[in-house]
Chains A and B, each alone.
Chain A
Amino acid sequence: MIDFLQIVIYGIVLGSIIALGAIGVSLIFGILRFAHFAHGDLMTLGAYFALAGVAGMSMPMFAAFGLALAATALVAIGIDRALYSRLQQVSPIILLISSVGVALMLRSLVQMIWGPDNQVYEQGITMPWVFAGGLRIQPTQVMIVGGAAGLMLLLHLFLQHTRFGKAMRAMSDNPDLARLSGINTERVVILTWIIAGVLAAAAGIFLGMDTRLHPIMGWKLLLPVFAAAIFGGIGKPYGAVAGALVIGLAQEMSTLVLPAAYKPAVAFALMVIILVWRPTGIFRGKVL
């Protein structure tokens, strides 16, 4: 029983991390209408920006966190201005291929600057809190789930209660009508990248806190992130959160029956099932 609960906790932690990435992917799908394959590596970049802050500039973690979020958002906007926005008129496929190129470039850049080895934010072992029955919870796990929940709450408030948040939802629904109503679509696009970049960076940092930093850490999460976004219905950020929890829990619980090395295959299998059975996702999002 305790082992099962332990696994559930891992699943929730992983699900929270995946959720932050999946929300971004879903927003980009909904507003920019393409599959952003560089999203995993954006997460990696965010994680390493934070490492630069902590290890390189000796900042406290929360400051490095903020720095990394801002820096990643800027990079995301930069890539869009330099690249994606110019290819927007061509086709979603070309955008996808372009984002694969961006993914490779980000990843190799990280490797060139920080090296190919595993790294951590803090050396040493932190003691977990132990509860009745031997249930262990790491403080970082609480931070991750709490941080992710906090970010998602902020996003929710933004989307539901601010003018630009509603404009984002409007553009995701119907970009032509948004333009007709006078909504500044350029600004909405920039906002989308800011949000996606911030959430991706947070996801990367949390992942680094939970496991370790490695140049392909984000790429390895790309499949579960997309699986979650598709599962919840492409273009529906709230669905993506649900999808992420399902994927996270499923991946962790699969260790009860499968060797741990095959965890990524679980996310994939779920995604294929959804794609074949109900391509618009559990919550009936768009079909591109």
Chain B
Amino acid sequence: MELSGLFSYFVFFLSMASVYAVLVLGLNIQWGYTGQLNIGVAAFFAVGAYTTAIVTGPASDNYLGGFGLPFVVGLLLAMVVAGLLALVIGLITVNLRSDYLAIATIGIAEIVRLVLKNEAWLTNGVRGISSIPSPFDELSGITEGLAYLSVLLVVVGGVYWTCERLFRSPWARVLRAIRANEDAVRAAGKNVLLFRVEAFVLGSMFMGLGGALYAHFVGFISPSAFDPMFATFVVWVMLIAGGSGNNRGALLGAVVIWAVWTMSSSMIGVLSDIGLLPDQLATQASALRIFLIGLLLEIILLTRREGLLPERPPKAIDRAD
């Protein structure tokens, strides 16, 4: 690959990794800080993406569009709508145990997917929404890519900084206490329900933000882009591989697993070209990648559950709370 091709590949890689990083940071607030098993990441990702697509995208006869709102507004609204969805779900499911919450979130994701596919008046159905504007549409080629990447990196930095500040805050201490001993926290007079809902909503807002960033990056979205395999499963593997409970781990996981994902795709291409991979398997490249990522997850769970960057133990002060 020539240098410019390699460079643009690198820009693409880092951009997608950044989108995923935002998603993983959001999931970390739910799972890492609060112990909430959200297997419906795809729902909030999709809602964020579609919100921004609808409010910033072009007008259309087929579906609700043409508001032409600016990029930043799209991002913000994505967060708001994802947050609202999370609020509704959170209030209903907040006191469910992890296993039940997990199933409930699968259901949510399914319903969101059904709505996206079937309510074409809103989302244009399976045809998807295209021509989603990016703030750098006037630029071209590598410049556009670089410009957007810098926006992404700024956002990732901001989200990371926010999550780190939160991690050290009294709020997060209460969340950790709830994870350890819910009854004690309730007895101390704190509203456990409220804390849990807050964590769930905040995490989901970041997921919505990730979805919006994705929509503007790719320019086209459809219900199939938010397939649970890509949207939810990969994000989970990223969090576990990187080290759940841990924001640096979240970032690392996003980059490493995304690298595995993209490299495995190239690897499959190469292996197939040199004849080491039967054609039938090569055409199922995406399935093979999922299989390998799944296998990777199992290996991680069996051998190094804490991930690459194990969770930092909470500070001793927690006991005083």
The reply, when asked whether chain A contacts chain B directly with Cβ atoms under 8 A, is yes
Among B99, B287, B305, the residue within 8 A (CB) of A288 is B99
Contact of A271 among B107, B297, B302 (CB under 8 A): B107
Cβ B301 vs Cβ A230 within 8 A: no
Beta-carbon contact of B287 and A94 below 8 Å: no
**Residue-by-residue, is A87-111 near B (CB-CB < 8 Å gives 1, otherwise 0)?**
1001011101110111011011101
Q: How many residues of A contact B (CB 8 A)?
A: 45
Q: Given the complex, which residues of B lie within 8 Å of A35, measured CB to CB?
A: 99, 102-103
The yes or no answer to B258 lying at the interface (CB within 8 A) is no
With contact pairs A275-B100, A279-B100 given, residues A101 and B297 touching in the complex (Cβ less than 8 Å): yes
Q: A112 with B39: in contact, given A230-B100, A261-B114 (CB under 8 Å)?
A: no
Asked, given contacts A272-B93, A287-B97, whether A86 binds B302 with beta carbons under 8 Å apart, the answer is yes
Interface residue? B117 (CB, 8 A): yes
B113-127: CB near A (< 8 Å → 1, else 0) gives: 010011000000000
Instruction: Mark the stretch among B74-82, B201-209, B288-296 that contacts chain A.
Output: B288-296
Give the contacts of A23-63 with B (CB-CB under 8 A): 34-35, 37
Q: Nearest Cβ distance between residue B84 and chain A, in whole angstroms? A: 18
Quick one: which of A115, A223, A264, A287 contacts B284, CB cutoff 8 A? A115
> In the complex, what residue of chain A is closest to B232 when comparing beta carbons?
A100
- Residue in B103, B110, B237, B284 whose Cβ sees the most chain A Cβ within 10 Å: B103
Judge whether B164 is part of the interface by a CB distance below 8 angstroms: no
Q: Are B291 and A104 in contact (CB under 8 A)?
A: yes
CB-CB contacts of B218-252 with A at 8 A, as 1s and 0s? Answer: 00000000000100010011001000000000000
In contact, A108 and B305 (Cβ under 8 angstroms): no
- Nearest neighbor of B300 in chain A, beta-carbon distance: A101
**Given A87-B302, A101-B301, A104-B229; A111-B284 close (CB under 8 Å):** yes
Cβ 8 A contact of A101, one of B37, B93, B111, B298: B298
Chain B residues whose C-beta falls within 8 Å of the C-beta of A222 in the assembled complex: 106
Query: Across the two chains, which residue of chain A brings its CB closest to B107?
Result: A268
Cα A227 to Cα B111 with chains together (Å) = 15
State whether B104 touches A271 (Cβ < 8 A): yes
Q: Does chain A have a CB within 8 A of B184?
A: no
Docked Cα-Cα span, A268 to B109, in Å, equals 11
**Which A residues touch B293, using CB under 8 A?**
104
Among candidates B98, B102, B104, B287, residue contacting A272 with C-beta atoms closer than 8 Å = B104
Q: Identify A104's interface contact among B106, B240, B290, CB under 8 A.
A: B290
B236 contact set on A, CB distance < 8 A: 97, 100
Q: Does B110 lie within 8 Å of A264, measured CB to CB?
A: yes
Q: Which residues of A contact B117 (CB under 8 A)?
A: 261
Question: With a CB–CB cut-off of 8 A, which chain B residues contact A107?
Answer: 287, 290
- Flag if A112 contacts B288 (CB, 8 Å): yes
Q: Among A97, A108, A264, point to the contact of B291 (Cβ < 8 A).
A: A108
| Bitwise interface map of A from 169 to 185 toward B, beta carbon under 8 Å scored 1, else 0 | 00000000000000000
Task: Say yes or no: B100 contacts A264, CB within 8 Å.
Answer: no
Which residues between 106 and 139 of chain A lie within 8 Å of chain B, taking CB atoms? 107-109, 111-112, 115-116
With A94-B301, A97-B236, A223-B110 as given contacts, are A104 and B294 in contact (CB-CB < 8 Å)? yes
Asked if B99 and A100 sit within 8 Å, CB to CB, the answer is no
Report the Cα distance A262→B118, complex, angstroms: 9
Whether B302 and A83, one on each chain, are in contact in the complex, defined by CB atoms closer than 8 angstroms, is yes
Once the chains bind, are A275 and B294 in contact (CB under 8 Å)? Answer: no
Indicate if B271 sits at the interface (CB-CB under 8 A): no
Q: Which residue on A lies nearest to B302, using beta carbons?
A: A86
CB pairs A–B below 8 angstroms (16 shown): A87-B301, A87-B302, A92-B99, A96-B98, A101-B237, A101-B297, A104-B229, A104-B290, A222-B106, A261-B118, A262-B118, A264-B114, A265-B107, A268-B104, A271-B107, A279-B96
7 nearest A-B residue pairs (beta carbon): A268-B107, A105-B294, A108-B287, A108-B291, A111-B287, A101-B297, A108-B290
